[in-house]
Amino acid sequence: MADNKGIMIIAEALNSSLASISKELLGAARKLAADLGDEVSALVIGSGIAGVAAEAITFGADKVFIVDDPLLKDYRTDAWVATAEKVAKQVNPRIILAGQTTIGRDLASRLAFRLNTAVTMDCIDLTVDATSKQLMLTKPVYGGNARAIFTSDLYPQMATVRAKAMSPIAPDSARKGEVVTVAAGLDAAAIRTNVLQKVIAEVEGIKLEDASVVVSGGRGIGGPEGFKQLEELAKILKGAMGASRPPCDSGWVPETIQVGLTGKIVSPDVYIAVAISGSSQHIAGCGGSKNIIAINRDPEANIFKEARFGVVGDWKKIVPAFTAKVKELLGR
């Protein structure tokens, strides 16, 4: 362990810019670096992604390792794990952080076992123990009903971090950093998966994860028609529509708008939960909202324990009247 130095984040690029989760990871890494007197590096893997390096430095990286190779164009476990393993062994970081994303959860879990260490997934808090200097990792378990704190004696210490759990630092384009290019040196024959097709569900309007107002519906909406009303309300509020899992499972709305533990993590200023009971797994995705507004006919529904304001009653009566009044008051 004496040789392990620095905090490395595994960055992700999204349409040739640094993904927001990666900015959050850099923010978390800078905090840990301050506690440990250490350096922050970012590992960027992909094809045609070198442009992301400068952005990573702006958001807090002291050093960026770039592995740019046509074989790394799509995320493929074998290729990315081998690449991350190579760089990790070369750099020997003390901490490796990845995002709890499609890529991060697949990559980090396998990489940890490849590196003979442990990883804690989906963390919402990372601190350094004052005496041991080990990471103390807090993660929700039991669907969000509980939290657990984990540590490990093994290095590198690894974690994936939940979206929106950490804050990025203010970007500073004057920051200086070093960019190191690493050759992938991959054997194409050792990559055992192929991405044949990518299917993207088009959602018009504001992205759910970025919206400052989210209107979400649950099983109690009863079918796709009701969601049209929620969509209209979301539009008037210049927000986005979300859903709990049952409407997604039933095909009333696209799977991609599921909010929760295994769906999107949102933290809008206002989250309007309509006919959603407030299961721990749903709250896992919206509990970070600044204000939850609950509309539910069951006064005992758990969602009222999470909400700041609530109305008890039938959404079929409440939503149209609420929408009309909002239009009137806001002049929209």
Partner 1 sequence: MNMIVCVKQVPDPEAPPASFKIDPATNKVVPPPGVPPVISPFDEQAVEAALRIKDAKGGKISILSLGIGLLRDVVKKPLSMGADELILLEDPAFIEGDSWSTAYALAMAIKKIGQFDIIFCGRQASDTDAGQVGSAIAEILGIPQVTVARKVEVLDGKARVEKVTADGYEVVEVNLPALITVSNELGEPRYATIKGIMSAKRKEPIVWKPADIGVEPGKIGATGRRSKMLKLFQPVREGKVEIITGENEEDAAANLARKLVEVKLL
- Residue 88 binds which entry of partner 1, ligand FAD, none, CB below 5-8 Å type-dependent: none
Residue 30 as a binder of ligand FAD (CB under 6 A): the answer is: no
298 binds, among ligand FAD, partner 1, none (CB under 5 to 8 A by kind): ligand FAD
Q: How far is the CB of 180 from partner 1 (least distance, A)?
A: 27
Region binding ligand FAD by CB under 6 A among candidate stretches 1-9, 22-30, 52-60, 214-222: 214-222
Q: What is the CA radius of gyration of the chain?
A: 22
Give the residue with the Cβ less far from ligand FAD, 91 or 208. Answer: 208
Q: Does residue number 89 form part of the binding site for partner 1 (CB under 8 A)?
A: no
Residue count, binding to partner 1 (CB under 8 A): 87
Query: First-to-last CA distance in the chain?
Result: 61
108 vs 189: CA distance, rounded Å: 22
The rounded distance, in Å, linking the Cα atoms of 32 and 137 is 12
Give 63 or 264: the residue with its C-beta nearer to partner 1: 264
Q: Which residues contact 34 (CB under 8 A, 6 or more apart)?
A: none
Q: Given the complex with partner 1, which of 47 and 179 has the nearer CB atom?
A: 47
Using CB under 6 A, which residues numbered 248 to 267 contact ligand FAD?
Answer: 258-263
Dihedral (C-alpha) 50, 52, 58, 60: value to the nearest 10 degrees? -90
Nearest to 7 by CA among 91, 104, 113: 91
302 binds partner 1 (CB under 8 A): yes
Backbone angles phi, psi at 65, to 5 degrees: -100, 125
142-201 residues near ligand FAD, rule: CB under 6 A: 143
SS3 of residue 122 by DSSP: strand
Q: How far apart are CA 3 and CA 32, in angstroms?
A: 18
Structure tokens at 195: 């991405």
CA distance 294 to 274: 6
If the CB atoms of residues 63 and 245 are measured against ligand FAD, the closer one turns out to be 245
Contacting partner 1 (CB under 8 A), which of 192, 204, 210, 226? Answer: 192
> What are the φ and ψ backbone dihedral angles of 287, each rounded to 5 degrees?
-65, -20
- 65 near 162, Cβ under 8 Å? no
What part of residues 105-144 is at the interface with partner 1 (CB under 8 A)?
Answer: 105-106, 109-110, 112-114, 117-122, 136, 139-143
297 is a contact residue toward ligand FAD (CB under 6 A): yes
The stretch near ligand FAD (CB under 6 A) out of 72-80, 99-107, 109-117, 271-279 is 271-279
Tell me which stretch binds ligand FAD (CB under 6 A): 37-45, 102-110, 187-195, 313-321. Answer: 313-321
Quick one: which segment of 33-41, 175-183, 223-231, 322-330 binds partner 1 (CB under 8 A)?
322-330
- Distance separating alpha carbons of residues 163 and 267, to the nearest angstrom: 10
Binding site for ligand FAD (CB under 6 A): 143, 218-220, 244-246, 258-263, 275-277, 279, 281-282, 285, 296-298, 301, 314-316
